[in-house]
Chains A and B, each alone.
Chain A
């Protein structure tokens, strides 16, 4: 079972904004460890979408943004597009487990 909890699904119409939460604890996000976000399109490997809480790798549209506060982090997708329909995962480090941890994953559906 994952120590980072995400909503199983979120949905929105094209052009809308959706937000995905990633809830951790004092042994991971709450300690100050960085949070990263991945996008996994159907049938493909995960792709780093946001690194170190709020940074976008080259080529990632600025419609994607990340934030972190306390024991949680969030990914926002503004101006939702059909191509954003995918699974999204957060990831951090947990000091109690001494290893990387992934969130439970969120499926984004574009209505």
Chain B
């Protein structure tokens, strides 16, 4: 059974880099059938797609975050990661990792439980 689990620091200082990892279990991250993505949700607000990655390393990002975001994949560890640099309080959110199919307009059919990240000094 496929499961996704986010991990990383719950507190990041302003101007520093937020780093999270999503461990995939129950399925190879190298499957040709999936893309892997990151989505965030500020407290009390809606969902925002951050970016997605294929096992080959092919990525695409939300244009509003593109200059600060890097998503990478480690097939040997069956996990993928998010780095968001120069964070501010506006980046405080629950961060989810999720899986979708290979079509650009596919839905995210499996989600991790989410991890809260607070940006504060």
Contacts and interface: CB of A to CB of B under 8 A. Distances in A.
Q: How large is the interface on A (under 10, 10 to 19, 20 to 34, 35 or more residues)?
A: 20 to 34
Given A98-B60, A99-B60, A100-B52, A91 B46 contact: no
Given A89-B47, A102-B46, A34 B114 contact: no
Interface residues of B, number: 25
B47 A105 contact: yes
B46 A103 contact: yes
Interface string A1-29: 01000000000000000000000000000
B14 interface: no
Contacts of A89: 46-47
Given A45-B114, A98-B63, A99-B63, A52 B107 contact: yes
Contacts, number: 67
Nearest to A51: B107
A57 interface: yes
Nearest to A32: B105
Nearest to B66: A99
Contact of B61 (A47, A93, A99): A99
